[in-house]
Structure 1
Amino acid sequence: MFSGVKSSTKTLIVLHFVLVVYSITGILGKIASTKDFFSFEFCAYYLGIIFLLGVYAIAWQQIIKRLPLTTAFANKAITVVWGIVWGFLFFGESINALKVAGALLVVAGVVVYARSDGASGQDAGDMSNE
């Protein structure tokens, strides 16, 4: 009975790790934009982006085998929060009240959707057992 919950929780944890990897491509892209076009550094950063996007694509396919697509896409919104974090840590961007409010709104939306999706999944599971 609880093995599905544990598996789903593990999949969500992996999903969020994969979304962190996906968000790192934004860092590499922003750094690459400061380099001379087609310089060695520029190409190295873009090869890094391509590599990470390849890892992300393969992992995404595995995740959507295990989670409903709507759940996976709803969680993808969390990359907005990672963008704010990476901007602050790597580029010295400020975090203001509007960014925090926006990030909280995104997180709240993901949580609300996940809870409603979980509740509807339990209802559907209960009906199929009757």
Structure 2
Amino acid sequence: MKFKNYLFLHASLLLYSIGSIFSKMASKEEFLSFGFVLYYGLFLLVLFVYALLWQQILKRFPLTVAFANKAITILWGIVWGYLFFGEALRWGMLLGSVIIVSGIYLVVSDDK
């Protein structure tokens, strides 16, 4: 049961991080162009769905645990930046990712 809840939490956070892809793509389009409206609309749709999922997450987890896990979206942002926008990976980013994952582990393991 607990694994299933954490899987739901991280799938929801993955969806939330995908919103940043649409947001960045919208920022590259001319304001109110078809591309801008499309990407911004997708961004808002992702945020709407995520808001509904977040309410379900808060039913299953204490706020401190749910919010601490939200930091994983920074790691997803690094991955999406590299894959979709050709952004460079630097050692500091990788070190920061390890620190984030370690912090999440500490909070989650303390939740038992």
TM-score higher than 0.5: yes
Q: What are structure 1's unaligned runs of at least 5 residues?
A: 1-6, 119-130
Match of 2:99 among 89, 99, 105: 105
Mapped to 1, the partners of 2:55 and 2:84 lie a distance apart of 29
1:47 aligns with 2:16: no
Mapped to 1, the partners of 2:49 and 2:102 lie a distance apart of 28
Q: How does 1:67-78 map to 2 (within 5 A)?
A: 67-78=61-72
Mapped to 1, the partners of 2:80 and 2:97 lie a distance apart of 13
Mapped to 1, the partners of 2:25 and 2:38 lie a distance apart of 11
Q: What are structure 2's unaligned runs of at least 5 residues?
A: none
Aligned to 1:14: 8
Match of 2:30 among 16, 36, 41: 36
Q: Deviations over 1:3-62 (max 9, x none)?
A: xxxx22111101101101000111111111110100011001111011111110001101
Match of 1:64 among 58, 67, 70: 58
Mapped to 2, the partners of 1:66 and 1:97 lie a distance apart of 35
Aligned length: 112
Are the aligned partners of 1:8 and 1:66 in contact in 2 as well (CA < 8 Å)?
Answer: no
Mapped to 2, the partners of 1:46 and 1:8 lie a distance apart of 35
Mapped to 2, the partners of 1:34 and 1:62 lie a distance apart of 33
